[in-house]
Amino acid sequence: MTKIVLGLPKGSLQESTFLMMKKAGFNIKSGSRSYIPSVDDPAIDARLIRAQEISRYVENGMLDAGMTGFDWIQENGSDVVEVADLVYAKQGRRPVRWVLAVPNDSSIQSVKDLEGKRIATEAVGLTKRYLDQNGVKAEVEFSWGATEVKAPELVDAIVEITETGSSLRANNLRIVETILESTTRLIANKTSWQDAEKRAKIEQIAMLLLGALRAESRVLIKMNCGKDSLKDVLGILPAMHAPTINDLSGEGWCSVESVVEEQVVREIIPQLKQAGACDIIEIGLNKVVP
């Protein structure tokens, strides 16, 4: 059996990654100090590594594949195959942002005002490229953490990652500009990607992860209706493709089922009922694979 070595992010993304892998069908267990978690798939050897480092290890072949942020791929300048864009983060299902932030009372209003200033960030490469693109010369220093508390006493501005902006606001900082939006990516080593068996396994993981993500916002809705009401019911019912329709044993009746966005269900159920549908059932989903 051909195995792949898969890098999983240790730290802030670890819990949400393990949960997403579970929804995809892979159960992962790890002790509090273990860097080699167990996976209930004999074709996967997992390693827990800081997200900041995963793309480098994938590029040099220490890992066949890994899950890390687009931001760290860019920061490291890693030459890897981006297999899938997985829109999830520590707190929710949306991209994270690297932003330029300054104290609320700062005179800095745009990147141009950073000329000659000092900036603290963990993403030194991203920040320097951003400044170069805007023709600005400023001092960029690496921050080992707690970056938000360094302005204004230690630095003039920071470049920091945020999902909601709440931590920045709590530290009396305001966002000046967004430098980069980032999502989690499944990436592969270029040599591993050329190996047919390894590529098949990586593609399987990608398909199941994307299926789990699609299922996050969708439900299966099932109902019965008389055939004389079917046209009205179908006119209300959104679907990924055409709804499934089956005849029932009772003459003149059929069952209808479709996968729909969860947020619209509360709006359409009363309409479906009024249109003649009955026995309406809403079912949660683990995966949706088109």
Do 77 and 40 share a structural domain? yes
Q: Is residue 219 very low, low, confident or very high in pLDDT (cuts 50, 70, 90)?
A: very high
Residue of 249 and 99 predicted with greater confidence: 99
Do 53 and 63 share a structural domain? yes
d(CA 14, CA 69): 12
Q: Quote the pLDDT of residue 83.
A: 98
Do 173 and 116 share a structural domain? yes
Q: Quote the pLDDT of residue 165.
A: 82
- 149-153, 161-165, 249-253, 254-258: which has the highest mean pLDDT? 254-258
Q: Is residue 32 very low, low, confident or very high in pLDDT (cuts 50, 70, 90)?
A: low
Among 138, 164, 182, the domain-final residue is: 182
Q: Is 161 part of any domain?
A: yes
d(CA 41, CA 185): 21
Whether residue 89 is predicted with pLDDT greater than 60 in this model: the reply is no
Total domains in the chain come to: 3
Whether residue 18 is predicted with pLDDT greater than 70 in this model: the reply is yes
Domain ranges, residue 120: 96-182
Do 44 and 22 share a structural domain? yes
Q: Is residue 12 very low, low, confident or very high in pLDDT (cuts 50, 70, 90)?
A: confident
Q: Is 290 part of any domain?
A: no
Do 187 and 143 share a structural domain? no
Do 190 and 178 share a structural domain? no
Do 158 and 44 share a structural domain? no
Q: Is 289 part of any domain?
A: no
Tell me the average pLDDT of the chain.
92
d(CA 28, CA 159): 33
Q: Quote the pLDDT of residue 167.
A: 86
* Percent of the chain's residues with pLDDT above 90: 76
Among 215, 233, 264, the domain-final residue is: 215
Q: Are 74 and 82 in contact (CB under 8 A)?
A: no
* pLDDT tens per residue, range 135-167: 999 999 999 888 988 988 899 999 999 988 888
Q: What's the CATH number where 111 sits?
A: 3.40.190.10
Mean pLDDT of 158-183: 91
What's the Cα-to-Cα distance from 210 to each of 41, 42, 82, 88, 117, rounded to whole Å?
18, 21, 14, 11, 42
Do 202 and 242 share a structural domain? no
Whether residue 33 is predicted with pLDDT greater than 70 in this model: the reply is no
Of 233, 216, 215, the closest CA to residue 224 belongs to: 233
Residue 52 phi, psi (nearest 5): -60, -25
